[in-house]
């Protein structure tokens, strides 16, 4: 059993809890069931098309292996198999002749019977069949090639049908991926007959249609049993040693950095069970970006038998912020509850508004118990990544149509409309008794937009954020073979000083609205782009004022889909029925349209969240020495200077006051001491930018 080059794999146990159900993710190296079936179908078709043509004397091949594969495909198509017979070698040419014959060629030589009371008398399959293909090597213009020198397709035995020929030993092969799965199931205590049943279910084939039989699985398990036992002993020792090294690395980090935090639990044998840690940068970032957190438990380690859980926030540039990491012994309620308790302790007891996770009943129960006031949301990409594995085998050619309708259903805004369309979808595709449909419906309060539209998510369910998370995992998981190296990679990725700098960019306005100009001076480019899109779209909406001071807002071309915007003038409150601000923290086009009608030249202060502002970068991303990169300083100063200039130009008195105070401030700053390290860093940054 070869050690894996990468110790981390995606969790593949289905959240439905059925041990026979096995999730394969779209886009992974392990292809989905449907694509695997298509691939197998294509391979078989292509092989058949190659085998239609009978070999002939003089036929040329680049290599002898190409010839053997061609003859093997022909043999399978015609109901027999072949084997390699003799080869002839010379001093100058090396091997210059290869003989391939029918598997029933020749006769078995009689063997001496063992000295046993009841010797086994097996009947040989060899019957002297003369079907053969002989190859000869030649060199033409310096190029080596092989040609068929003799060929016979005359058999003295009955040829097999398609459903029989696949059972010949030559065609019964257990691929490497299946070998690993068989060993894993065998170690879990599955008998051979159940292992075969599991593989049939996972591959979506009928009983008895695997490319190998139960006897092959039994022989493979028996052959590997000794090496598996030896590997288990070595693996157990490696797990214990590497886990202790990880704990020592955490202790050493805590001695070097007083703000580094970690915790762990031990089992009844005093061996490390669960371990979790976080960094000073992460704790500081959480004070600003801890309103919405993602707890990703996608990966587990085959080598160590540990589940990896990583906490992320989303910063004001739409990028993931590492908040903490946990390695858990299992996926039980107690393990998840410990991870949640530890994370809250690291973050000084402050609970997030919303937590996003995968579908997991134990994790859901742990969140309900430990975070009763936090909204729980199932990430939409986790739902979509499982659809192919769940529904493609049963729906077949209808799957793509089902997927398109399912995606539309996810984005419906009304709960009643969602449930009506859900029932229609289930009935149309005949999924009323499907266990995965039942699972999704039982979690419906946590994943479709109609139920979570009022939950604050801070744009953490966008495709861009998901891709950023995927890139983070690729950096810390690729090619890692020990926990200590993994710990170092996590530390490097979590260090905010190693983040790629946000390029200083000029944000162009697209309208003449003062609201847009005001937002540009306050928000980060990421948040401004999102708001700017809403501002541009708001110009296509018409408003109708109601008697109570509220407004109906409707697109000028669309007769349906109107939105109610409630305006409370006393304290400048505005609320829209689309709930976009409650969902993302960015005002929607409908509210922006009403503000424009109300002659607002600036967005009310309460509707520009601090988490999306430029100055939140300097608070959350500042390191221990109060240093931040020159791009961030420039961005903040540009924002303040632009606002200051706008305000100072209203009157001459304002301008004189700003000029006087700025001159005094400049003189004061020039007289302040500057550390050599900080000055050199800033100078280096300025040189590189120049």
Segment 258-286, tens digit of pLDDT: 899 999 999 888 889 999 999 999 999 99
Q: Find residue 479's DSSP bridge partners.
A: none
Could you give the maximum distance between any two Cα atoms of the chain, in Å? Answer: 119
What mean pLDDT is predicted for residues 298-305?
82
Of residues 191 and 539, the one with the higher pLDDT is 539
Reply yes or no on whether the pLDDT at 645 is more than 80. Answer: no
pLDDT at 182: 83
Which residues have C-beta within 8 Å of that of residue 468, sequence separation ≥ 6?
318, 319, 320
What mean pLDDT is predicted for residues 27-37?
39
Reply yes or no on whether the pLDDT at 257 is more than 70. Answer: yes
- Which of the 8 DSSP states describes residue 606? G
pLDDT band at 233; cut points 50, 70, 90: low
Q: In this structure, are residues 136 and 96 in contact, taking their beta carbons and an 8 Å threshold?
A: yes
pLDDT band at 213; cut points 50, 70, 90: confident
Reply yes or no on whether the pLDDT at 240 is more than 60. Answer: yes
What mean pLDDT is predicted for residues 507-533?
91
Which DSSP helix (H) or strand (E) runs through 542? strand 541-545
pLDDT at 368: 95
Reply yes or no on whether the pLDDT at 585 is more than 80. Answer: yes
| Chain segment 55-82, per-residue pLDDT in tens | 989 899 999 999 998 998 898 888 898 9
pLDDT at 31: 35
pLDDT at 325: 95
User: What token pair was written down for 392?
Assistant: 């493609």
Reply yes or no on whether the pLDDT at 43 is more than 90. Answer: no
pLDDT at 441: 95
> Strand 354-357 relative to strand 292-296: parallel, antiparallel, unpaired?
parallel
Burial class (CB in 10 A: 0-12, 13-18, 19+), 335: buried
Rounded Cα gap, residues 532 and 522, in angstroms: 13
Reply yes or no on whether the pLDDT at 220 is more than 70. Answer: yes
Of residues 114 and 571, the one with the higher pLDDT is 571
* pTM value > 0.75: no
Q: In a 3-state reduction of DSSP, which class is residue 621?
A: coil
pLDDT at 496: 76
Task: Determine which of 20-24, 31-35, 419-423, 624-628 has the lowest per-residue pLDDT on average.
Answer: 31-35
All structural domains of the chain with their residue ranges:
59-107+125-166, 172-256, 260-494, 514-612, 631-658
User: What token pair was written down for 130?
Assistant: 């003369």
Q: In this structure, are residues 278 and 323 in contact, taking their beta carbons and an 8 Å threshold?
A: yes
Rounded Cα gap, residues 20 and 635, in angstroms: 55
Whether the CA torsion 506, 511, 514, 516 is positive or negative: it is negative
User: What token pair was written down for 434?
Assistant: 């499907």
CA 396, 399, 401, 403: dihedral to nearest 10 degrees?
180
pLDDT band at 48; cut points 50, 70, 90: very low
Q: What is the mean pLDDT of the chain?
A: 83
pLDDT at 607: 94
pLDDT at 267: 87
pLDDT at 129: 92
Q: In this structure, are residues 356 and 294 in contact, taking their beta carbons and an 8 Å threshold?
A: yes
pLDDT at 177: 73
pLDDT at 663: 84
pLDDT cut 70: percent of the chain above it: 83
Reply yes or no on whether the pLDDT at 397 is more than 80. Answer: yes
pLDDT at 678: 47
pLDDT at 226: 62
Angle between helices 630-648 and 676-689 (to 10 degrees): 80
Reply yes or no on whether the pLDDT at 555 is more than 80. Answer: yes
pLDDT band at 624; cut points 50, 70, 90: very low
Q: In a 3-state reduction of DSSP, which class is residue 567?
A: strand
| Chain segment 329-343, per-residue pLDDT in tens | 988 999 999 999 999
CA distance to 53, 407, 652, per residue, from 475 (Å)? 49, 30, 55
């Amino acid at each position: 059993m070869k050690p894996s080059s990468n110790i981390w794999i995606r969790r593949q146990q289905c959240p439905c809890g059925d041990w026979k159900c096995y999730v394969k993710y779209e886009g992974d190296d392990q292809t989905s069931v449907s694509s695997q079936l298509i691939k197998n179908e294509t391979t078989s078709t292509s092989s058949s098309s190659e085998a239609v043509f009978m070999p002939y004397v003089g036929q040329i091949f680049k290599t002898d292996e190409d010839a053997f594969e061609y003859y093997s495909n022909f043999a399978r198509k015609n109901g027999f198999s072949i084997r390699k017979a003799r080869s002839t070698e010379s001093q100058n040419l090396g091997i210059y002749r290869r003989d391939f014959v029918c598997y029933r060629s020749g006769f078995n030589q009689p063997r001496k019977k063992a000295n046993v009371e009841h010797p086994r008398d097996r009947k040989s399959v060899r019957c002297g069949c003369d079907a053969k293909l002989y190859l000869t090597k030649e060199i033409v213009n310096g190029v080596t090639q092989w040609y068929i020198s003799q060929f016979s397709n005359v058999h003295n035995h009955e040829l097999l049908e398609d459903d029989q020929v696949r059972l010949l030993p030559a065609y019964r092969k257990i691929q490497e991926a299946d070998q690993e799965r068989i060993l894993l199931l065998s170690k879990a205590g599955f008998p051979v007959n159940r292992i075969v049943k599991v593989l049939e279910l996972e591959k979506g084939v009928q009983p008895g249609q695997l490319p190998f039989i139960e006897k092959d699985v039994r022989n493979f398990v028996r052959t590997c049993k000794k090496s598996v036992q030896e590997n288990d002993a070595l693996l157990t020792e490696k797990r214990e040693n590497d886990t202790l090294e990880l704990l020592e690395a955490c202790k050493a980090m805590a001695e070097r950095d007083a703000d580094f935090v970690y915790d762990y639990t031990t089992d009844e044998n005093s061996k490390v069970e669960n371990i979790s840690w976080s960094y000073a940068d992460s704790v500081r970032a959480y004070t600003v970006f801890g309103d919405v957190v993602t707890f990703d438990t996608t990966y587990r380690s085959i080598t160590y038998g540990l589940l990896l859980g990583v906490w992320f926030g989303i910063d004001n540039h739409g990028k993931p912020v590492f908040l903490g990491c946990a390695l858990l012994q299992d996926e039980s309620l107690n393990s998840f509850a410990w991870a949640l308790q530890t994370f809250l302790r690291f973050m000084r007891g402050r609970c997030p508004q919303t937590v996003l996770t995968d579908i997991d009943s134990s994790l859901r129960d742990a969140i309900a118990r430990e975070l009763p006031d936090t909204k729980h949301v199932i990430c939409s990409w986790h739902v979509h990544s499982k659809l192919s594995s769940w529904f493609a085998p049963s729906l077949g050619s209808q799957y793509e149509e089902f997927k398109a309708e399912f995606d539309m259903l996810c984005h419906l805004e009304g709960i009643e409309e969602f449930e009506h369309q859900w029932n229609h979808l289930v009935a149309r595709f005949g999924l009323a008794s499907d266990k995965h449909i039942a699972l999704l419906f039982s979690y419906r309060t946590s994943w479709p937009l109609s139920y979570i539209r009022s939950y604050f998510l801070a744009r953490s369910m966008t495709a861009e954020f998901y891709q950023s998370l995927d890139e983070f995992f690729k950096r810390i998981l690729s090619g890692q073979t020990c926990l200590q190296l993994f710990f170092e990679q996590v530390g490097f990725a979590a260090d905010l000083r190693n983040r790629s700098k946000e390029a200083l960019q000029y944000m162009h306005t697209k309208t003449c609205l003062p609201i847009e100009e005001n937002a540009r001076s306050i928000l980060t480019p990421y948040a401004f782009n999102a708001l700017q899109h809403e501002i541009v779209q708001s110009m296509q909406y018409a408003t109708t004022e109601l008697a109570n001071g509220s407004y109906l807002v409707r697109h000028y071309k669309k007769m349906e889909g109107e939105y109610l915007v409630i305006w409370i003038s006393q304290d400048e409150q505005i609320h829209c029925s689309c709930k976009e601000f409650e969902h993302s923290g960015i005002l929607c086009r409908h509210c922006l349209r009403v503000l424009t009608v109300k002659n607002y030249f600036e967005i009310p202060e309460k509707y520009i969240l601090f988490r999306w502002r430029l100055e939140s970068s300097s608070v959350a991303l500042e390191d221990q020495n109060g240093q931040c990169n020159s791009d961030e300083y420039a961005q903040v100063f540009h924002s303040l200077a632009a606002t200051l200039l706008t305000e100072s130009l209203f009157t001459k008195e304002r301008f004189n006051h700003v000029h006087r105070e700025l001159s005094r401030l400049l003189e004061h700053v020039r007289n302040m001491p500057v550390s050599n390290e900080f000055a050199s860093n800033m100078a280096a940054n300025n040189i590189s930018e120049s």
